[in-house]
Chain A
């Protein structure tokens, strides 16, 4: 067996569930989630860490899963877009993107949702400037961003309205 095909067991918690798969050392976390675990909600837009479509939460913090090797997250906790919603309802960020028409083709959306979820957890009442900054690491080719920024503020509102109902917040590490 060559260096390319030797497999290593990776065990981690994804969206609250223990998952494991044996993968080569070079398997990217994005490919691991998509192809080994079947969580295809995480998208790959550039594979060089610029577009942010592949953003997931690693121990609660946003990371580019296309720049992360799966073997390096053994034992850690990952939240993907599939893990943001509560049992029966969308998270505040998911709801806000829907209400504000913050997505069109939806390909970049999972990355935005993960990034904004982490941002609003740390900064639940952002200023205009902070909201802009929060989404300025992700590329979207469809929306022109205006409704995405609107959605960040709307999500903050919804989050404030539903405070005390932690199950609504989604994506918490």
Chain B
């Protein structure tokens, strides 16, 4: 019997190569390739007055030096604005190499190509760029004053401004509802910048084949199909002449969804121009100053509520720092402003954001993509409401929950996919009950009192979220059974460690009734599948998982049809078990799927023994029908697409118990508990791994990580020495429990899981520290010295 693999903790099929050093990451390709390196701006805002490359020309092994003036055609134009939006009235993108003005430290100015990276960097060091300084704009509140401009033609540095309003059921505006509410609060919240920071940086390797005029590009990207279209467009090549492959990718977390990066089009262009293989591998410092960051926001909140803590009106104004350019549009603040509502029904809601230019690295999605800020805002608000009313924090949350019988629930907003924000399913009261039980919420006051008696300060915190996952427009899957009985699955989206090869194989093996060992999966290779969107927004399992399931169902149907012919049976009586099609209850009446694959492809030539069965004198073909009948195609394969009406909404709740040192203000997480609902689980081991990793990044964002810019726009901590990512010693043991509320929107009933872990962590830790300390926590991250200063300020 074939084991049902969907839902099982199947070990990863990726691991055998990854633990033996046999994986192939970007920099592992092209051993003889030329190396590219870049001269990057050391200034946050300056006009380039001269570039003198003469000293570099003597460097042995130098091959080429390029500046903006060397770029032909579309390459010389600004990079694409990937996600236009009517509210983004002043979208601006960079040139691949700076033209006249640089707008952040790290912006590429000159590209050097040499025999190896050492020599390329030697040449970079000898290139003299003269700059005339312009006033740098740093900090979103300074920027919005508009005294100095990041882009001369963007007044007030405002790239976008968007208001969304949902009146109450009685038709009241948020302002009116707040004014009329029995209680009101008003406050400000701050969140600092962090970044995806995958252990492998970006990278591009390109081979030009002059013989047939084709280009093959490898990129450490989250979207190979879209990189392909961008490269073809920028280089003026026919699309079929360009192939893009995302090989093993060493983490993405959002930053690698941005494309095309300057390097992603410059390296292929150089490869074609020089007729040589060219590779660029980002180093860590480059990643800090020339990729992307996220998170920074200032939020102003007004809330009105009743005696039970029900929110009657909520008004949030957000200043969002999007850095120097907006290639990814305003997706991050749109997500913040819509996902802010979480699992709650709010009386009336108004949210306004301004997305602001500063002379800093651009801001694009990092795991969570605006949601950690949203949840921080909502959950801090509910904690304040609870504190004001003297109520338990979980009671106030429960008072605002959407009920399990209220789905689908329309929040009345437009989500990041341009579609209505309608939650498909969930069970928030059950989630809360599970969490409280797991963490011992109700008995915590005694625990706290006991600790206090020992002179220790401990506190408990909670954070709830809803995450729109599996956004469209679509993904596809292709499944082919070959005449050796092997199943070849491909999908266009890419993998960065999520275990897609395993979970997609689980889906295919389950759908087709074949042993998983016979299934192989390819992702992110445009040679295998050309239509895709990419891996982001916790969408891969939902989108490609369902597309592959649908493609498998087509293949299965065809296999049963062909097998029924061969077995002279009714296809409705057939099953597939262990790769054998057989009549249910009569195992002897059977035919291997491999043979079905042979029969599916009428042949003239027998290339092996098995193929003889399908040749034209074998007697297997009906004489009254053409060998490939109307509506049929040769081969046992299927392709299908999954395109959802809208996103599916996962949810979860986290709780933490922290201890703060009364003297040193050191913050220690004693317990961390997660209840997670991503619908039906394909592989619980992998989902838990995703949660662990997300929480660890959340802990980084809550306690350690921030990008520190000085007033000149210099990033002061652009190294792993100074930007503090958690080591094993900083991450608590994470306790997890799963609730499975299937999504009614897709055939597999699944929801996304990739980002969830990170989303509520800052809110949870703030809540717990506030509980331990009894002082309001309104900005994250919080370091021991921040907490110490807060104590002094409140004591003074």
Contact = CB atoms under 8 A, between A and B. Distances in A.
Interface size class of A (residues with CB under 8 A): 35 or more
Interface string B185-209: 0000000000001111000000000
B284 A47 contact: yes
Contacts of A11: none
Contacts of A42: 21
A27 B284 CA distance: 18
Nearest to B720: A50
A94 B22 CA distance: 13
Nearest to A94: B19
A142 B495 CA distance: 13
B499 interface: yes
A131 to B, nearest CB: 9
A1 B61 CA distance: 11
A64 B68 CA distance: 38
Contacts of B284: 45-48
A144 B696 CA distance: 5
A12 interface: no
Nearest to A24: B118
B50 to A, nearest CB: 26
Nearest to B688: A101
A98 B21 CA distance: 13
A101 B686 contact: yes
B728 A82 contact: no
Contacts of B691: 144
Contact of B199 (A108, A137, A144): A108
Contact of A105 (B22, B497, B697): B497
B689 A101 contact: yes
A147 B686 CA distance: 11
B12 A98 contact: yes
Interface string B89-129: 00000000000000000000000000010110010000000
B60 A5 contact: yes
A97 B15 contact: yes
Interface string A121-151: 0000000000011011111111111111100
A80 B11 contact: no
A156 interface: no
Contacts of A5: 60-61, 119
B303 to A, nearest CB: 33
Contacts of A41: 20-23
B273 interface: no
A43 to B, nearest CB: 7
Contact of A90 (B20, B497, B728): B20
A141 B251 contact: yes
A106 B23 contact: yes
Q: Is the interface of A mostly helix, strand, loop or mixed?
A: loop
A44 interface: yes
A108 B15 CA distance: 13
Contacts of B733: 146
Given A4-B119, A132-B728, A142-B497, A90 B19 contact: yes
B248 A106 contact: yes
B198 A105 contact: yes
Interface string B502-513: 000000000000
A102 to B, nearest CB: 9
B392 to A, nearest CB: 29
Contacts of A62: none
Contacts of B19: 81, 90, 94, 97-98, 103, 106, 109, 113
A42 to B, nearest CB: 7
A145 B20 contact: no
Contacts of B199: 43, 45, 51, 53, 105, 107-108, 139-142
B25 interface: yes
Given A105-B497, A142-B497, A136 B729 contact: yes
Interface in B439-483: none
B162 interface: no
Interface string B231-248: 000000000000000001
A103 B686 CA distance: 10
Residue of B15, B691, B694 contacting most chain A CB atoms (<10 Å): B15
Nearest to B252: A105
B721 A106 contact: no
A146 B692 contact: yes
B765 interface: no
A4 B23 CA distance: 31
Given A99-B11, A139-B727, A104 B283 contact: no
Given A103-B15, A141-B697, A146-B731, A94 B20 contact: yes
B656 to A, nearest CB: 14
Contact of A104 (B23, B119, B498): B498
Contacts of A104: 251, 497-499, 689, 693
A107 B60 CA distance: 33
A80 B21 CA distance: 8
A34 interface: yes
Contacts of B731: 144-146
A4 B21 contact: no
Contacts of B685: 101
A141 B197 contact: yes
A67 interface: no
Interface in A30-59: 34-35, 38-48, 50-51, 53
Interface string B488-531: 00000000111100000000000000000000000000000000
B18 interface: yes
A84 interface: yes
B178 interface: no
B20 A85 contact: yes
B200 A146 contact: no
Residue of A5, A80, A133 contacting most chain B CB atoms (<10 Å): A5
Contacts of B697: 141
B743 to A, nearest CB: 24
Given A24-B118, A140-B199, A145-B728, A101 B12 contact: yes
A144 B497 contact: no
Interface string B248-263: 1111010000000000
Interface in B729-766: 729, 731, 733-734, 757
Contacts of B757: 144
B795 interface: no
B44 interface: no
Interface string B542-565: 000000000000000000000000
B21 A110 contact: yes
Contacts of A135: 728
Given A105-B250, A136-B727, A98 B11 contact: yes
A25 to B, nearest CB: 11
Given A139-B725, A145-B696, A81 B21 contact: yes
11 contacts: A5-B61, A26-B118, A40-B28, A41-B23, A85-B20, A101-B688, A104-B251, A105-B250, A106-B15, A108-B250, A109-B19
4 nearest A-B residue pairs (beta carbon): A41-B21, A105-B497, A107-B250, A106-B18
Given A4-B60, A105-B496, A144-B696, 4 more contacts: A98-B12, A98-B15, A132-B728, A132-B729
